[in-house]
Amino acid sequence: MTLSLPVVDAFLLSFGVVFLAELGDKSQLMALAFASRYRAMTVLLAVTIATLIVHAGSVLLGSMFALVLPTSAIQVTAGLAFFGFAAWTLRGDTLGEADEGRATRTGRWALVTIGTAFFLAEFGDKTMLATVTLAATEEPIGTCSARRRAWSRVMRSPLRSDR
């Protein structure tokens, strides 16, 4: 199977953008909190599933914008959005009370507990908005695929050092 250039371009660009956006993000803080309480593989599996669901939806939403809005308007809006992401990155993220409560909750079904908490934390998060923006301007398959890989890459080293 050969990949077309737009897919590879979108993959590489999305990987880089989401990798940077994920550093110090709320969802990363939550995953670190979970990794100190549960097995690393359980956390990794739960957040991968939750991330896949949230960001497949984000890519779908971005692709719909790309279908109904003119390209130039999307590019200008996306550019402004990235200025916002820059400010958001400089401000930094912290876990709110609700997020902390979810991160310290124990459940019999660790996978479900972590997955649900992470799913809720990802909603409206910087990386979700960045994914919507990227999907509106780039090829959707490459964006979705890179999104998941970037997240796993960011999370793997802290999870391993915790164990």
Contact between 6 and other proteins by CB under 8 A: the answer reads: no
Contact between 94 and other proteins by CB under 8 A: the answer reads: no
Could you tell me which stretch among 3-11, 76-84, 142-150, 154-162 binds other proteins (CB under 8 A)?
A: 76-84
- Please say whether the beta carbons of 98 and 47 come within 8 A: no
Which of 29, 47, 50, 78 is in the footprint of other proteins by CB under 8 A? 78
134 phi and psi angles, rounded to 5 deg: -65, -40
Largest CA distance in the chain: 50
- The DSSP code sequence of 20-44 is HHHTT-HHHHHHHHHHTTS-HHHHH
Give the whole-angstrom CA distance, residue 4 versus residue 90. Answer: 35
- Please say whether the beta carbons of 35 and 100 come within 8 A: no
Contact between 23 and other proteins by CB under 8 A: the answer reads: yes
State the minimum distance, in angstroms, from the CB of residue 12 to other proteins.
13
Contact between 79 and other proteins by CB under 8 A: the answer reads: yes
The smaller minimum CB distance to other proteins, of residues 16 and 107, is found at 16
Contact between 86 and other proteins by CB under 8 A: the answer reads: yes
Which of 48, 89, 116, 152 is in the footprint of other proteins by CB under 8 A? 89
Contact between 41 and other proteins by CB under 8 A: the answer reads: no
123 phi and psi angles, rounded to 5 deg: -65, 120
CB atoms within 10 A of CB 17: 22
Per CB under 8 A, residues contacting other proteins are 16-17, 20-21, 23-24, 71-76, 78-83, 85-87, 89-90, 92, 137
